[in-house]
Amino acid sequence: MLYQLFETQRSFMEPFADFAQAASKLYGNPLSPFGQSPLAQRTAAGYDLMYRLWKDYEKPEFGIRTVDVEGVEVAIHERVELDKPFCELRRFKRFTDDPATLTRLKGQPAVLIVAPLSGHYATLLRDTVRTMLKDHKVYITDWKNARDVPLEQGEFHLDDYVNYVQSFIRHLQGTYGNCHVISVCQPTVPVLAAISLMASRGEKTPLTMTMMGGPIDARKSPTAVNNLAMNKSFSWFENNVIYRVPPNFPGAGRRVYPGFLQHTGFVAMNPDRHLSSHYDYFKHLIAGDDASAEAHRKFYDEYNAVLDMDADYYLETISTVFQEFALVHGTWEVRNEDGEPELVRPQDITTTAHFTVEGELDDISGAGQTEAAHGLCQGIPKDHQKHLEVKGAGHYGIFSGRRWREVVYPQVRDFILQFNEQDAEPRPRARGRAATSAAARKSTRAASATTKARKRA
């Protein structure tokens, strides 16, 4: 019912937003009779602000047309490589007529960037993609808005997320022989699970996995986000944030965690900062500071664009990652594409180098949460592991902005290059390890049966 009320309100406000946009242009045009008034600039700024507060924010585009590769402008063609019901694997194909640059591009590593499915679109990583394109073949997971996925496409669970990641890794491996994986924020947990399961089966695993600002162990330095997830019961989330998609969308009837509720939570974390930012925008418009005003628009065009998450996926993430801590306790079982449960064992990873990145001032994934992955991946040699804490960086600063480009990216690039040429063939899994894994699955299956039944209900 709440979702339908929100949509009704949004539809009601749409003509007012259009009017505010038109009025802003009318008062802001010096050739207009209304633009001659002494208060015209202030009036135009006020209407512009109202328009931006009332408008509906659609999914932004990546908009990466070219990148500079050592002084050569390289054209970018964005295309969908694989299309799954809840996600597109998007590739950024690079083109150039310069022979030397073309030769250089062909020999560069292939990287899968796993974007978060936690409210915002994958375009939030636009700066990450643009920077990586200088030295890598880049693919990214572009998660779909659940309200646009028809019910006949089925449900989407956390297990499905893990299986999607594995299929994308295999696709890149089939194309290039092997690849590197970067996960940002929420996907650090399912990506670690995906690679762990591949290692346990004896499959070829990526050459490197880079994990940035994710809740591997959310018990460490818990943030406001963690506390909410840990202190509210599973039933509270199911009863208070899950709604069905209204009939005016392709996914009508699907149970989702609506984007508008997520956005409300984002804003509620720092209301004073957002209020100040909008007031500053109003002042920039009055002062004619077009550069600052445009920077504000670009940020909020991205920040205000949110998607619905499938309810099963969201609730299982809350339960598995933030309440049961199943990954760090070694009790997490993931159902593979054949429906068979497999125990997640990060200690089985041996041939994938591991890099973790945290921001000193991260208020979403606290200090130590991502670094905790090293303690789980005991099979990776110490000289194949690295950790970086970025001084002065918040959550977004480790994958976007100046600190990402000047501090984080050079180290990520060098880490990938360091291990790009190593032999990526997985070591045969010892019979003892297989037996241990099977025994562990048996011992944990009973403990997790109740939880699995609740998740699948």
Tens-place pLDDT, residues 225-236: 888 888 888 999
The string of pLDDT tens digits covering residues 28-65 is 988 888 888 888 999 999 999 999 998 988 999 999 99
pLDDT band at 181 (very low <50, low <70, confident <90, very high): very high
The string of pLDDT tens digits covering residues 246-263 is 998 999 999 999 999 988
Sheet strands side by side (includes 309-310): 243-244, 255-257, 309-310
pLDDT value, residue 441: 44
3-state helix, strand, coil in the chain (%, to 5): 50, 15, 30
Q: HSE on the CB side for 246, CA within 13 Å?
A: 12
Compute the mean pLDDT over every residue in the chain, rounded to the nearest whole number.
90
Q: What's this model's pTM, rounded to 2 decimal places?
A: 0.87
Write the CATH number of the domain with boundaries 66-238+311-456.
Answer: 3.40.50.1820
- Residue 438 or 388, more confident: 388
pLDDT value, residue 317: 96
Distances (CA, A) of 74 to 31, 66, 221, 373: 41, 5, 43, 36
Distance from C-alpha of 156 to C-alpha of 258, rounded to nearest angstrom: 15
Radius of gyration of the chain from its Cα atoms, rounded to whole angstroms: 23
User: Is 415 in contact with 210 (CB distance < 8 Å)?
Assistant: yes
Which sequence spans correspond to the domains of the chain? 2-56+283-303, 66-238+311-456
pLDDT band at 140 (very low <50, low <70, confident <90, very high): very high
Distance from C-alpha of 288 to C-alpha of 285, rounded to nearest angstrom: 5
The string of pLDDT tens digits covering residues 164-178 is 999 999 999 999 999
Q: What string of DSSP letters covers 239-306?
A: HHS-EEPPTTSTTTT-EEE-HHHHHHHHHHHSHHHHHHHHHHHHHHHHHT-HHHHHHHHHHHHHHT-B
Q: Does 442 score more than 60 pLDDT?
A: no
pLDDT value, residue 32: 87
- The structure tokens listed for 79 are 């295309």
Q: Does 343 score more than 90 pLDDT?
A: yes
- The structure tokens listed for 31 are 């050739």
Decide: residue 34, CB within 10 A, 0-12 exposed, 13-18 middle, 19+ buried. middle
Q: Which residues pair with 181 in a beta bridge?
A: 112, 209
pLDDT value, residue 453: 41
- Estimate to the nearest angstrom the gap between the alpha carbon of 444 and the chain centroid: 30
Amino acid code (one letter) for 6 = F
Nearest residue to 173 (alpha-carbon basis) of 195, 144, 200, 142: 195
User: Is 136 in contact with 109 (CB distance < 8 Å)?
Assistant: yes
pLDDT band at 363 (very low <50, low <70, confident <90, very high): confident
Q: What is the mean pLDDT of residues 65-72?
A: 94
Distances (CA, A) of 425 to 180, 251, 444: 14, 42, 30
pLDDT band at 422 (very low <50, low <70, confident <90, very high): low
Distance from C-alpha of 216 to C-alpha of 393, rounded to nearest angstrom: 19
- Residue 425 or 376, more confident: 376
Residue 3: Cβ within 10 Å count: 19
pLDDT value, residue 454: 39
